[in-house]
Amino acid sequence: MENKEKTAAKILQNPKIELIEPLARVPLTTYKTDVTEKICQFLSIISGKLTIIVNDSTRPTPTANILRLISTPLREWESKGNNILFIIATGTHRAAKEQERKAILGDFSDCRIKSHNSNDESAHSFIGKTPLGTPVYIDKDVLSSDAIIVIGSVEPHYFAGFTGGRKAFLPGTAGFSTIEQNHKMAILPDADLMKLDGNPVHEDMDNALDLLPQIPIFSIQAVGDQSLFADDIRNSFEEAVTFARKYFTVEYPEQADLVIARVNPPMDINLYQTHKAMEHAKMVLSNGGRMIVISRCPEGIGQDRFYKTLVENSSSNMDKIAQNSYHLGDHKPLKIRALLERFSISLVSNLPDEVLLKIGISSYDSLEQAMLNISSNSRAIILDNASIFVPVVKN
């Protein structure tokens, strides 16, 4: 896929388009706690079975780099007769492939590794209900640990507020029914982008932490490629969120008629994940405007029910489905239908034209094709890495 500069050059060559540039950003200083010193302190007070929970390949977490940073103390601790198990926190995603495991874990891909399977009921134990009524089932290998290290990353999330931290447990290593009940709250108004206070999805995830047995947990949370926050599971997340709000927000002076949103790997894996970029693009797009999303989607659409629900139901029908007979993922087609009611959406991808046309999304093979019928005097914004960075209109 072409880079941002080539995309911008093509747009600037189009006489119908005026580009709206982002406002100047205040440079942020890279933040790193002394991760090595803190991990040594943590390892000095634990022994036995250490479970390290890491993200799967749908998240841009620099897991291999973080593991390289703490490799020496981990290997020394392991050499004393202790055991390390890596659990890839897939939530309801598919298991990690062998090549993905190597990319995620780097030098530690020779260790014991397990991809979490939320559908295997026998692999989970019930640990209680949250105040919002979610029955919490957690992977037995997590619960049988003598200690846990969580390696995650904090990015804006369109209904959980932010990724990272508590998501290692719910949804990362939770049972399917737990995840489904939690994600049902994604249809509520307060389940919103970069919102934590009063967000029922986030609060339910956080409350699930209180149900875990008294196992020592050390957490390393990344923001971008360079900044790391290490502490207990809540403090590291809260510190990372404070930094992430500034790091991932890009201000613009006004809304645009046209937003061109590029989705970078790994978030471009399918249409299901690409939707997150659409939620970000709408933040700076005028009602009735056009959104062109560039995303390869090498693994197709995503969940079968997600696509089937989109094809077969109007927004009003999906609203009833989501409220009365919710299945995991129903919030996605509901939100995409809401976007299609406000905006014209085009996708530049590898997906077949007819697949997208059935759900009301225009399909193109290239950006040049997508821009052929752009209206004169269009004011455009280019969003790079649109699944991660959030554009906002100043004030």
Does pTM surpass 0.95? no
The span from the CA of 157 to the CA of 193, in Å, is 5
Structure tokens at 172: 């990362």
The span from the CA of 110 to the CA of 114, in Å, is 12
What's the pLDDT at 296? 95
What's the pLDDT at 3? 57
Please give the mean pLDDT across all residues of the chain.
92
The residue among 323 and 198 whose pLDDT is bigger is 198
* Residue 228 near residue 35 (C-beta atoms within 8 A): yes
Mean pLDDT in residue range 307-325: 74
**What domains appear along the chain, each with residue ranges and CATH number?**
4-23+253-393 (3.90.226.30), 35-246 (3.40.50.11440)
Identify the band that residue 325 occupies on the pLDDT scale cut at 50, 70 and 90.
Answer: confident
What's the pLDDT at 144? 97
What's the pLDDT at 4? 53
Q: Among 102, 114, 33, which residue's Cα sits nearest to residue 70?
A: 33
- pLDDT tens for 340-356 read 999 999 999 999 999 99
What are the CA-CA distances from residue 308 to residues 123, 186, 203, 229, 356 (Å)? 30, 19, 30, 41, 12
- pLDDT tens for 144-182 read 999 999 999 999 999 999 999 999 999 999 999 999 999
The span from the CA of 38 to the CA of 234, in Å, is 16
| Residue 330 CB-density burial (10 A; 0-12 exposed, 13-18 middle, 19+ buried) | buried
pLDDT above 80: residue 395: no
What's the pLDDT at 312? 85
Mean pLDDT in residue range 17-21: 89
pLDDT above 90: residue 143: yes
- pLDDT tens for 26-55 read 767 666 678 999 999 999 999 999 999 999
pLDDT above 70: residue 319: no
